[in-house]
Structure 1
Amino acid sequence: MTGVPQSQSQYQTQVQGPARVPSDRWRLQVVHRTQFRYGGPVRSSYNEARMTPENSSRQTTLRSRVEIEPTATVHAYRDYWGSTVTAFDTHGPHTELVVKATSVVEAGPEPHLPDPVDWTALAEPDVLDRFGEFLRPSRLTAMDEPVVAAVREVVGDAGPREAGRLVCRFVYEHMEYLTGSTNVKTNAMQAWTSGKGVCQDISHVSVGLLRALGLPARYVSGYLHPKPSAQIGQAVTGESHAWVEWWDGGWSGYDPTNVVEIGTRHVTLARGRDYTDVPPLKGIFSGPKSEGSKVTVEVTRLA
Structure 2
Amino acid sequence: MKRDVSAHLDIAVHAPAALQLQLAVARQPGLELNESLALTLDGSEVVPREVPGPHGSRIHVFDSGAGNLRVQYRATVLGAAEPEPVAAYDLAAYLRPSRFAESDKLLGFAWSEFGCGIGDPEMPARISAWVGRRIRYAPGSSGPMDGAVETLLSGTGVCRDFSHLVVALLRAVGVPARVASVYAPGCFPMDFHSVPEVYVDGVWRAFDPTGLAPRSAYVRIATGRDASDIAFLANHGSDITVNGLSVTAFIDGPLPFDDFRLPTSIH
Cα 1:45–1:104 change in 2 (3 A) is same
Query: CA offsets, 1:118-151, max 9 Å, x none?
Result: xxxxxxxx95x65221001112111423430244
1:1-303 aligned at under 5 Å gives the runs: 25=1, 27-38=2-13, 42=15, 44-56=16-28, 60-70=31-41, 71-80=45-54, 82-91=56-65, 94-106=66-78, 131-143=91-103, 144-153=106-115, 160-226=120-186, 238-248=190-200, 249-258=202-211, 262-264=215-217, 266-284=218-236, 286=238, 290-302=240-252
Contact 1:168 1:259 in 2 (8 A): no
Q: Distance in 1 between matches of 2:6 and 2:227?
A: 21
Query: CA offsets, 1:168-220, max 9 Å, x none?
Result: 11111110001001012101011110001000000000001111121111110
Q: Distance in 2 between matches of 1:82 and 1:299?
A: 20
Displacement of 1:56 in angstroms is 3.5
Q: Distance in 2 between matches of 1:90 and 1:111?
A: 36
Structure showing greater Rg:
1
Query: CA offsets, 1:90-125, max 9 Å, x none?
Result: 34xx421111111112366x87799xxxxxxxxxxx
Say what the alpha-carbon RMSD is for the aligned residues: 2.9
Contact 1:220 1:268 in 2 (8 A): yes
Q: Distance in 2 between matches of 1:267 and 1:74?
A: 22
Query: CA offsets, 1:238-283, max 9 Å, x none?
Result: 211000111231111111221887312x111000000000111112
Taking structure 1 as the reference length, what is the TM-score of the superposition? 0.72
Contact 2:185 2:214 in 1 (8 A): no
Identity in percent = 24
Taking structure 2 as the reference length, what is the TM-score of the superposition? 0.80
The DSSP-based 3-state class of the residue aligned with 1:160 is coil
Q: Distance in 2 between matches of 1:162 and 1:297?
A: 34
The DSSP-based 3-state class of the residue aligned with 2:243 is strand
Displacement of 1:165 in angstroms is 1.2
Q: Distance in 1 between matches of 2:21 and 2:168?
A: 26
User: Structure 2: where are the runs of 5+ without partners?
Assistant: 254-267
Contact 1:37 1:290 in 2 (8 A): yes
Q: Distance in 1 between matches of 2:151 and 2:186?
A: 23
Cα 1:299–1:281 change in 2 (3 A) is same
Cα 1:80–1:111 change in 2 (3 A) is closer
Cα 1:200–1:240 change in 2 (3 A) is same
User: Structure 1: where are the runs of 5+ without partners?
Assistant: 1-24, 115-125, 228-235
Q: Distance in 1 between matches of 2:211 and 2:138?
A: 13
Q: Distance in 2 between matches of 1:261 and 1:298?
A: 15
